[in-house]
C-alpha cells in the first residue's frame, strides 16, 4: 500500500491566484549512490513544467504556439540517467554556489584564500565539478509549485561556511517564477541561477539563430581567452553585442569580432540597464520565434544576464523526443551577478555573511506573437 501511495500523484491546491495550477509528484529512480529522486509536474491552462529533485533541474516546459499547439521549449532528458550522464552542458540545472566562472578557481574573503576544483581549465565553472546541479535536493510541494532545499556543508567544493539554500518554482498563469534564498554560517560567496536552454520552435535540434532577441543592456563585460571578465565594463553601442533593439540572434554571430571569436559565439555577461519596477523586477530580455510565434520574457532582481548560444552543443546528447542537441540548438539567458565578481572590486559584490540572507528572483513568462499568418519557412538550419 505504501508503494501505491508513493506512486500516486499528489495533488496540491494552489493559492487563489493560482487556482488552476496543480502539482503532482512521482518517484524518478535512484542515483548511482542510491539516493531516491522525485519528478514533479506543475500544470495549469497555460503551461506544463516538469522538475526533478536531482539538481533541482527544469526537466521540461511545454508552451503553446500561436495556433495553441503545445510543444517542449526547454531542452532536457526523459530519464534520470540522462542527467547523470551529462556532466558538461548543465541543461536545466540549478547552479551554485557560484554560477559562471571564477578565474583559476581562486578567491579570498577577509584575507583567507579559497580554492574551488578546476572543471573548466584553467578555471572553475558553475560551482565546480560537484555543484548544486549534481546534488539531490529535498522537494516539498507548495501552493502552485515546489520548494527544493539543500544543505551544502562547510568546505563543499572549497567554499567556506555551511550554506542552507532554497529554490522555489511557482507556476502562475503563463509565468514560471524561480526564487532563490540562502543563509550561511561563515562569510562565503554566492551567485545562483538556472541553466535552462530554450528552443522556442519546440523542435529540439533546430537552430535558434533566427529568433529575434532584445536585451535591456547598454554595457557588457568583455572576456579574455579563458572567458574570464577582463574587469572592463564596455558599451554595446556599435558592436555585435547591441541587442537594445530587436535583432535576430544569428545576424552578427559570425562577424569578425575578437569577443565573438573568444566565446565561439555569444557567451557573455550583459549589464542590465532597465530599472526595477514596482514588483521588484527588471526586464532582462525578450525573445520571439518568428516561425511558431512563441515569445519569452525574462524579468529578474539580478543586475546582469548571461547570453549563451549553445556554442558547445555538438550532438553528443539526445534528449526529449529523441532530439539530438546540436550546435546552437538552444539558447540560455542566465540571470546573475557578474562572472568572477569576487576578483573584481568594481563588480557588484557576491559576498554573503552570517546573519544576512541571499535572495534572488527570476521569472520566465511565455506568450505568443500573433500576425495574421505564420511564415512559410520552417525553423532555421544550424549555422
Instruction: Tell me what the pLDDT averaged over the chain comes to.
Output: 93
Q: What is the sign, positive or negative, of the torsion defined by CA atoms of 371, 373, 378, 380? A: negative
**Residue 370: pLDDT band with limits 50, 70, 90:** confident
> pLDDT tens digits for 1-37?
333 333 334 444 344 444 489 999 999 999 999 999 9
Mean pLDDT of 332-356: 98
**Residue 192: pLDDT band with limits 50, 70, 90:** very high
Q: Which residue in the list 57, 195, 268, 320 is annotated as catalytic? A: 195
Contacts of 38 (CB under 8 A, 6+ apart): 25, 26, 27, 28, 52, 53, 139
Mean pLDDT of 176-192: 98
Position 18 scores a pLDDT of 44
Distance of alpha carbon 233 from alpha carbon 296, whole angstroms: 27
> pLDDT tens digits for 119-162?
999 999 999 999 999 999 999 999 999 999 999 999 999 999 99
Please identify which residue in the block is written with the cell numbers 535576430. 248
> pLDDT tens digits for 273-323?
988 887 899 999 999 999 999 999 999 999 999 999 999 999 999 999 999
Position 59 scores a pLDDT of 98
Position 379 scores a pLDDT of 57
Q: Which residue in the list 126, 147, 302, 334 is annotated as catalytic? A: 334
Backbone angles phi, psi at 90, to 5 degrees: 65, 25
The residues facing 32 across adjacent strands are none
**Residue 228: pLDDT band with limits 50, 70, 90:** very high
Position 278 scores a pLDDT of 77
> pLDDT tens digits for 265-274?
999 999 999 8
DSSP track, 105-171 = GEEEETTEEEEPPPSBTTBEETTSTT-GGGSBPEEEEETTEEEEEEEE-TTGGG--S-EEEEEEEEE
Whether 57 shows a pLDDT value over 50: the answer reads yes
209 in helix, strand or coil? coil
Residues found in the chain: 383
Fold topology of 1-383: Beta-galactosidase; Chain A, domain 5 (2.70.98)
Residue 195 is among the residues annotated as catalytic for this protein: yes
3 in helix, strand or coil? helix
Distance of alpha carbon 4 from alpha carbon 119, whole angstroms: 42
What are 204's three cell numbers?
529540439
Residue 337 is among the residues annotated as catalytic for this protein: no
Position 158 scores a pLDDT of 98
178-207 in b/e burial notation, b at 16+ Cβ within 10 A? Answer: bbbbbbbebebbbbbbbbbbbbbbbbbbbb
Whether 202 shows a pLDDT value over 80: the answer reads yes
Of 7-16, 216-225, 321-330, the poorest mean pLDDT is in 7-16
Distance of alpha carbon 352 from alpha carbon 350, whole angstroms: 7
∠ CA 366-72-360, rounded to 5°: 50
**Residue 363: pLDDT band with limits 50, 70, 90:** very high
Position 204 scores a pLDDT of 79
∠ CA 174-178-179, rounded to 5°: 140
> pLDDT tens digits for 72-109?
999 999 999 999 999 999 999 999 999 999 999 999 99
Position 5 scores a pLDDT of 32
The residues facing 50 across adjacent strands are 41, 60
Amino acid at each position: 500500500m505504501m508503494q501505491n501511495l508513493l506512486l500516486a500523484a499528489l495533488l496540491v491546491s494552489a493559492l487563489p491566484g493560482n487556482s488552476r495550477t496543480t502539482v503532482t509528484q512521482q518517484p524518478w529512480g535512484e542515483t548511482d549512490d542510491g539516493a531516491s529522486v522525485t519528478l514533479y509536474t506543475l500544470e495549469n491552462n497555460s503551461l506544463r513544467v516538469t522538475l526533478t529533485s536531482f539538481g533541482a533541474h527544469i526537466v521540461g516546459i511545454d508552451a503553446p504556439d500561436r495556433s495553441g499547439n503545445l510543444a517542449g521549449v526547454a531542452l532536457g532528458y526523459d530519464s534520470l540517467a540522462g542527467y547523470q550522464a551529462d556532466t558538461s552542458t548543465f541543461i536545466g540545472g540549478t547552479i551554485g554556489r557560484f554560477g559562471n566562472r571564477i578565474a583559476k578557481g581562486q578567491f579570498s574573503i577577509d584575507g583567507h584564500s579559497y580554492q574551488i576544483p578546476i572543471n573548466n581549465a584553467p578555471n572553475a565553472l558553475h560551482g565546480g565539478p560537484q555543484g548544486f546541479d549534481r546534488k539531490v535536493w529535498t522537494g516539498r510541494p507548495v501552493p502552485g509549485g515546489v520548494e527544493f532545499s539543500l544543505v551544502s556543508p562547510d568546505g563543499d567544493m572549497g567554499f567556506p561556511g555551511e550554506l542552507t539554500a532554497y529554490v522555489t518554482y511557482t507556476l502562475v498563469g503563463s509565468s514560471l517564477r524561480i526564487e532563490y534564498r540562502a543563509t550561511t554560517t561563515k562569510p562565503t560567496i554566492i551567485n545562483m541561477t538556472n541553466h535552462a536552454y530554450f528552443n522556442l520552435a519546440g523542435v529540439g535540434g533546430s537552430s535558434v539563430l533566427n529568433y529575434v532577441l532584445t536585451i535591456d543592456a547598454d554595457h557588457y563585460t568583455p572576456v579574455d581567452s579563458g572567458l574570464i571578465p577582463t574587469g572592463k565594463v564596455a558599451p554595446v553601442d556599435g558592436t555585435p553585442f547591441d541587442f537594445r533593439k530587436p535583432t535576430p540572434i544569428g545576424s552578427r554571430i559570425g562577424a569578425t569580432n575578437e569577443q565573438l571569436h573568444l566565446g565561439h559565439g555569444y557567451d557573455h555577461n550583459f549589464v542590465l540597464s532597465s530599472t526595477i519596477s514596482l514588483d521588484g523586477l527588471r526586464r532582462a530580455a525578450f525573445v520571439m520565434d518568428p516561425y511558431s510565434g512563441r515569445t519569452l520574457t525574462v524579468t529578474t532582481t539580478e543586475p546582469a544576464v548571461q547570453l549563451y548560444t549553445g556554442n558547445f552543443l555538438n550532438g553528443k546528447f539526445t534528449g526529449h523526443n529523441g532530439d539530438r542537441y546540436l550546435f546552437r540548438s538552444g539558447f540560455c539567458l542566465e540571470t546573475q551577478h557578474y562572472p568572477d565578481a569576487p576578483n573584481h572590486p568594481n563588480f557588484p559584490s557576491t559576498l554573503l555573511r552570517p546573519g544576512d540572507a541571499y535572495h534572488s528572483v527570476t521569472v520566465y513568462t511565455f506568450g505568443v506573437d500573433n500576425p495574421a499568418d505564420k511564415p512559410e519557412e520552417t525553423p532555421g538550419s544550424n549555422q
